[in-house]
């Protein structure tokens, strides 16, 4: 800027110039794709995002810095609340250029644009492109999605006509949609396309909303947009975003300047060429009952491209809950019956929860117990002697899903007709309340005024016979019993008029018959009454004497009335006297726990070693079990009190079909899944307070086949599973209910990192190791044609010899449904002596990732190339503890022989090494179990070993020798002297300008060559070259880095002034051009006179 001119003139001048350039460029062409609805989400949803520009400066400067781009950027995502579920993550990118780049690198992995867009925009070759890709799996894989994401590999054209119009654009935006219980119910639509506007605008008609009426004051909507190429200096008050006709503004986006290269989604005031903004929609913008809306985009002189619009509106959900009730067992005084309540969501939207079922038990219908996985119940006295049973289920219930059954166990206290009624309610809108209530009416009968019943205790004469555990009196035996326990006592009591009744005034001995039927039947007899009296479980009668003491109602059978049955299922026990059946009781024999018997690989049957409670959950280390994602089988059974497995377990659904309700006989297995650290003492869960690790563990677990009976092993059930994560998987199996008697096994109430989460039934499985690694490189610049970069296993770009480049190593599981699965819980262990118990055996280091350079991705026989080295100050990150899963990213270099020596003559060419292709390879040694006591060493690598997948897991670079070419120059001492700099590489025959690099800068650090200066520039002022007066050699710019756009840049030397003539040799340094771009030696002479027009042309061309 010249002195005396107002400070704002440069920006005004550039604005006018850009506007004139765009107007003269030709008539506007219609964008290829109109923005329209792409996808939709309903529920407790919201969105957030982040962005980063690849431009290094804005448009408000005279220099070409607005055209300068960088090859790699990063941005931090924020705004995903703790406990949220990631529903979608969508990556958008944009570039100026005539050739669309649909492959980029995001967060260290290669991403391809599933949806591709281009726009002719203003014509005359000034074209743009955009890509969109689904990166949900990548974002979900993070322990905390609020982290930093990298982006690179995007080819952008920053030359003319874009640069001349200051219309270069490149960068990315990440849109993340999530659900969370604290969000209001919304309908969130994503609109997508690639639509430009300039000196015009357009309206997007939005629909399918259903805003609540009335609209609660705390319920809001949100809107966001992702636009490109906006300029803060060209608004002229004409840039607006309107929702329902009202302008959206905030402190970062003032009225009339919406598209201004500032993004409020991330608080970024310097998102050059990117606008990712979001606004809250309150009652000023939306109306109760509204079902349509409009957004209006307007721009004046500024050219803007719209890629995506996100609109989240409050919505009346339709989570239609339906309740059904069935009864199992007749209502008989003193006997139990079961009411099964099923809640289904027959609506179109998720029921956000919690769901509440209220069951009103009429007077006389006594509550015995409640059961149902996921339900929490309580009871209270209601009106007219009723009992109100209130059961709550937390969490969502998706449309079309059914909650786990809720079972209410009751017993009638007297004969009569009983109507049981229950209702269900949720939190989401329910437009159909007609299916929210269910009833069941039935009459209760009394088995007789004089009978014999089984009781749990010795009764006193006159005691009322009761069933409910909390009632006072003598309790009828209704079970259940613990399989193989031998501690259950079942007494025989005489009953008259519902009370215990004495048999005789003197001791009285009766000969009674006993019979039992068992379902399922597995040829296991039960013992009752006396040793050796085995009831065959087929209903056959056995007889035994029982003595009833004088004036007492209860007789004690031989052997203390002990009952023993070493199996599980439903038992019917009957008593007869003188040929008449006097009483029958049906009850359940249940296991003590659910335990894994074995876990083994499907491919070869090799069993996982140790990891049970009997082993204190320890694991042999470092011994691996299976690849992440490799199929394995888990075999479990029902453990009885004698530590044997019940032989009939698994047959219940078939044997009891029609006897008990379907929901009662279903074996609904649950698995508590979590990561574990078996090297700790004691073994500990690996979990965090917000449940993020637990979510990763659960999301990576796939049950290919549920637990089904093993036809060859009685009582064993097998399930086939895969786990797409690394490390150790802890699994605790349990039953949510066993034949109506409640939960069997499980982790209790201990969750997350509580050591009590590990219980006797927990099995620690693993180690699970990666299938392969992927090594992804950020190329400093692109290949050029004469580098001869191959198309087969194409490298990602090129790098100068000794130039640092960033790379990331990511471990992967086997593909899941054809998609790559990165591991989030992989631990790269350091090879330290202190890790002897973890990964070092006899000096051999396991589970430590090393890096080499390979000839080809599918070549594992050639020796590694010797030129590659990892930055010794920053090796690949290792895990210092069970909660550390660091991203493995750092810098590397590749050194070619005989580099160009700084200060050499530009003519020096001899002995340079031709461009050399290398691929970055990750390797890790693992120790795989092959049997109970045998192992073998294997190697996990990034090499392409599985040709069937046709995958390339390691990136390549073309390494080239480089230099900074500084030309000889001469001119008048009265004028500044330009030096046209060029970064060059050796193509094997000659030095070539690196036209594909615009990320490098050099400085204006001038280094005079010792004893090369003459006259004004020499200390001695001698005409003979001698020691230099370094202060006399100065550059224009005052230390500002000089961008080398497309490999070239210009450095200005300050004129020494009238009569100050002389010469000197120099080299140039500074900027980010390091030792990989050594400067040539140039001779500069001031005091040579030529036509002034030539000087002007050289300075300003």
Token digits for 674? 């979590």
DSSP per-residue letters across 293-338 = EEEEEEESSS-EEEEEEEEEEEB-----EEEEEEEES--BTTS-EE
**C-alpha closest to that of 118 among 98, 134, 104:** 98
Residue 452 dihedral angles phi and psi, to the nearest 5°: -115, 130
Tell me what the pLDDT averaged over the chain comes to.
Answer: 87
State the burial class of residue 81 (Cβ atoms within 10 Å of its Cβ: 0-12, 13-18, 19+).
Answer: middle
Predicted confidence at residue 1092, as pLDDT, reads: 45
Predicted confidence at residue 234, as pLDDT, reads: 60
Predicted confidence at residue 746, as pLDDT, reads: 83
Average pLDDT over residues 679-684: 84
Listed in sequence order, the DSSP H helices in 489-626 are none
> 238 near 298, Cβ under 8 Å?
yes
Please say if the pLDDT value at position 61 is more than 70: no
The pTM assigned to this predicted structure is 0.77
Kindly list the structural domains of the chain, giving each domain's residue range(s) and its CATH number in brackets, ordered by start. Answer: 9-314 (no CATH), 321-444 (2.60.40.1530), 450-590 (2.60.40), 593-769 (2.60.40.10), 772-960 (no CATH), 962-1100 (2.60.40)
pLDDT range class, residue 532, cuts 50, 70, 90: low
Average pLDDT over residues 411-431: 88
> 1043 near 65, Cβ under 8 Å?
yes
Predicted confidence at residue 335, as pLDDT, reads: 73
CA atoms within 13 A of residue 793's CA, in its CB half-sphere? 20
Predicted confidence at residue 894, as pLDDT, reads: 97
% of the chain with per-residue pLDDT over 70? 92
Predicted confidence at residue 237, as pLDDT, reads: 59
DSSP state of 105: E
Strands of 966-1089 (E only): list them: 969-971, 977-986, 991-993, 1001-1002, 1005-1008, 1042-1043, 1048-1053, 1062-1069, 1082-1086
> 177 near 101, Cβ under 8 Å?
no
Please say if the pLDDT value at position 921 is more than 90: yes
Predicted confidence at residue 449, as pLDDT, reads: 46
> 152 near 105, Cβ under 8 Å?
yes
Q: Distance between the two ends of the chain, CA-based, in angstroms?
A: 19
Round to whole Å and give the CA distance between 1090 and 1101.
Answer: 17
Please say if the pLDDT value at position 949 is more than 60: no
Predicted confidence at residue 10, as pLDDT, reads: 39
DSSP state of 1099: H
Predicted confidence at residue 236, as pLDDT, reads: 54
**Residue 597 to residues 594, 688, 719, 760, 899, Cα–Cα distance (Å):** 10, 29, 12, 13, 64
Round to whole Å and give the CA distance between 390 and 408.
Answer: 11
- Give per-residue pLDDT as tens, 334-385: 677 889 899 999 888 888 889 999 999 999 999 988 988 889 999 999 999 9
Please say if the pLDDT value at position 69 is more than 90: no
Predicted confidence at residue 9, as pLDDT, reads: 36
Please say if the pLDDT value at position 447 is more than 60: no
- Give per-residue pLDDT as tens, 470-516: 778 999 888 899 999 988 899 999 888 778 999 888 888 888 899 99
Residue 205 dihedral angles phi and psi, to the nearest 5°: -85, 125
Average pLDDT over residues 434-443: 92
Task: Say which residues have a Cβ less than 8 Å from residue 688's Cβ, sequence separation at least 6.
Answer: 143, 752, 753, 883
Which of 107-111, 716-720, 898-902 has maximum average pLDDT?
716-720
């Amino acid at each position: 800027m010249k002195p005396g001119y107002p400070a704002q003139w440069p920006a005004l001048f550039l604005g006018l110039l850009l506007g004139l350039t765009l107007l003269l460029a030709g008539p506007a062409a219609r964008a290829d794709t109109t923005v329209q609805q792409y996808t939709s989400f309903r529920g407790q949803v919201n969105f957030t995002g982040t962005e980063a520009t690849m431009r290094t400066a804005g448009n408000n400067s005279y220099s070409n810095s607005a055209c300068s781009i960088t090859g790699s950027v990063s941005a931090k995502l924020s705004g995903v609340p703790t406990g949220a579920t990631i529903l979608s993550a969508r990556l958008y990118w944009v570039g100026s250029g005539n050739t669309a780049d649909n492959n980029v690198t995001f967060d260290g992995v290669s991403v391809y644009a599933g949806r591709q867009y281009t726009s002719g925009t203003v014509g005359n070759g000034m074209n743009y492109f955009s890509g969109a890709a689904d990166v949900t799996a990548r974002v979900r894989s993070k322990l905390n999605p609020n982290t930093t994401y990298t982006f690179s590999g995007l080819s952008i054209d920053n030359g003319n006509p874009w640069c001349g119009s200051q219309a270069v654009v490149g960068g990315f935006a990440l849109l993340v949609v999530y659900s969370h219980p604290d969000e209001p119910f919304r309908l969130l639509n994503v609109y997508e396309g690639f639509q430009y506007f300039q000196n015009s605008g357009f309206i997007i008609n939005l629909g399918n909303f259903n805003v609540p009426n009335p609209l609660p004051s705390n319920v809001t909507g949100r809107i966001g947009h992702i636009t490109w190429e906006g300029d803060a200096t060209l608004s002229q008050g004409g840039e607006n975003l309107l929702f329902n006709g009202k302008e959206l503004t905030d402190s970062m986006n003032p009225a009339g300047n919406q598209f201004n290269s500032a993004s409020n989604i991330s608080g970024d005031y310097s998102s050059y060429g990117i606008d990712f903004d979001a606004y809250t929609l309150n009652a000023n913008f939306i109306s109760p009952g509204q079902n349509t809306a409009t957004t209006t985009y307007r721009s004046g002189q500024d050219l803007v491209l719209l890629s995506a619009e996100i609109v989240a509106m409050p919505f009346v959900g339709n989570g239609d809950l339906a309740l059904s009730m069935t009864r199992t067992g007749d209502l008989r005084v003193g006997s139990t019956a079961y009411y099964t309540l099923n809640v289904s969501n027959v609506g179109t939207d998720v029921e956000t929860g919690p769901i509440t079922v209220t069951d009103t038990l009429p007077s006389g219908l006594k509550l015995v117990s409640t059961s149902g996985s996921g339900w929490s119940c309580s009871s209270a006295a209601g009106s007219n002697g009723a009992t109100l049973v209130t059961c709550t289920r937390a969490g969502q219930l998706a449309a079309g899903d059914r909650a786990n059954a809720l079972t209410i166990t009751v017993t009638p206290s007297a004969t009569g007709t009983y109507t049981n009624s229950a209702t269900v309610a949720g939190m989401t809108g329910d437009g159909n309340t007609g299916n929210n209530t269910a009833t069941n009416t039935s009459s209760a009968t009394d088995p007789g005024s004089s009978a014999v019943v089984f009781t749990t205790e010795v009764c006193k004469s006159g005691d009322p016979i009761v069933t409910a555990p909390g009632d006072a009196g003598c309790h009828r035996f209704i079970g259940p019993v613990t399989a193989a326990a031998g501690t259950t006592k079942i007494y025989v009591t005489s009953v008259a008029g519902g009370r215990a009744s004495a048999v005789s005034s003197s001791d009285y001995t009766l000969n009674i018959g006993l019979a039992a039927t068992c379902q399922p039947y597995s040829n296991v007899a039960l013992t009752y009454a006396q040793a050796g009296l085995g009831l065959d479980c087929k209903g056959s009668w056995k007889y035994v004497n029982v003595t009833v003491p004088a004036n007492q109602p209860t007789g004690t059978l031989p052997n203390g009335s002990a009952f023993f049955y070493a199996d599980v299922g439903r038992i019917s026990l009957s008593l007869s006297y003188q040929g008449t059946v006097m009483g029958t009781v049906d009850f359940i024999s249940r296991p003590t726990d659910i335990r894994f018997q074995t876990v083994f690989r499907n491919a070869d049957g090799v069993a996982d070693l140790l990891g049970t409670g009997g082993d204190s959950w320890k694991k042999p280390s470092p011994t691996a079990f299976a690849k992440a994602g490799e199929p394995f089988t888990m075999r479990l059974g029902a453990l009885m009190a004698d530590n044997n497995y019940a032989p009939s377990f698994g047959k219940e659904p078939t044997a009891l079909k029609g006897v008990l309700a379907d929901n009662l006989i279903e074996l609904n297995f649950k698995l508590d899944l979590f990561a574990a650290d078996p090297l700790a003492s004691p073994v500990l869960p690996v979990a965090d307070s917000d449940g993020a690790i637990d979510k990763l563990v659960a999301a990576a677990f796939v049950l290919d086949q549920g637990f089904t009976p093993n036809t060859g092993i009685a009582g064993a059930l097998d399930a086939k599973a895969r786990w797409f994560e690394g490390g150790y998987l802890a699994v605790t199996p349990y039953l949510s209910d066993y034949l109506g008697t409640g939960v069997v096994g499980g982790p209790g109430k201990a969750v997350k990192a509580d050591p009590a989460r590990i219980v006797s039934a927990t099995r620690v499985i693993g180690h699970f190791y990666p299938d392969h690694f992927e090594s992804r490189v950020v190329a400093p610049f692109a290949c050029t044609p004469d580098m001869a970069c191959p198309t087969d296993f194409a490298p990602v770009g090129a790098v100068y010899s000794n130039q640092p480049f960033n790379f990331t190593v990511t471990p992967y599981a086997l593909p899941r449904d054809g998609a790559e699965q990165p591991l989030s819980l992989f631990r790269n262990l350091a090879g330290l002596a202190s890790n002897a118990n973890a990964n070092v055996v006899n000096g051999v280091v396991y589970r430590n990732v090393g890096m080499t350079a390979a000839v080809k991705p599918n070549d594992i026989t050639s020796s590694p190339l010797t030129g590659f080295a990892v930055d010794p100050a920053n090796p690949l990150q290792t895990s210092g503890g069970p909660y550390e899963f660091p991203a493995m990213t750092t810098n590397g270099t590749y050194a070619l022989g005989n580099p160009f020596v700084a200060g050499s003559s530009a003519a020096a060419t001899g002995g340079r090494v031709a461009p050399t292709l290398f691929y970055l390879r990750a390797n890790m040694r693992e120790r795989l179990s092959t049997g109970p006591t045998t192992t073998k060493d294997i190697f996990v690598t990034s090499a392409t070993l599985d040709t069937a997948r046709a995958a390339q897991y390691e990136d390549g670079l073309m390494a080239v020798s480089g230099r900074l070419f500084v030309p000889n120059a001469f001119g008048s001492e009265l004028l500044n002297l330009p030096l046209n700099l060029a970064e060059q590489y050796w193509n094997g025959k000659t030095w070539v300008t690196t036209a594909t690099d615009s990320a490098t800068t050099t400085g204006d650090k001038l280094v005079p060559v010792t004893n090369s200066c003459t006259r004004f520039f020499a200390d001695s002022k001698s005409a003979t070259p001698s020691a230099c007066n370094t202060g006399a050699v100065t550059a224009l710019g005052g230390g500002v880095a000089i961008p080398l756009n497309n490999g070239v840049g210009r450095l200005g030397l300050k004129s020494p002034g009238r009569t100050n003539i002389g010469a000197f040799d120099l080299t140039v340094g500074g900027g980010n051009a390091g030792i990989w771009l050594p400067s040539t030696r140039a001779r500069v002479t001031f005091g040579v006179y030529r036509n002034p027009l030539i000087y002007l042309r050289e300075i300003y061309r």
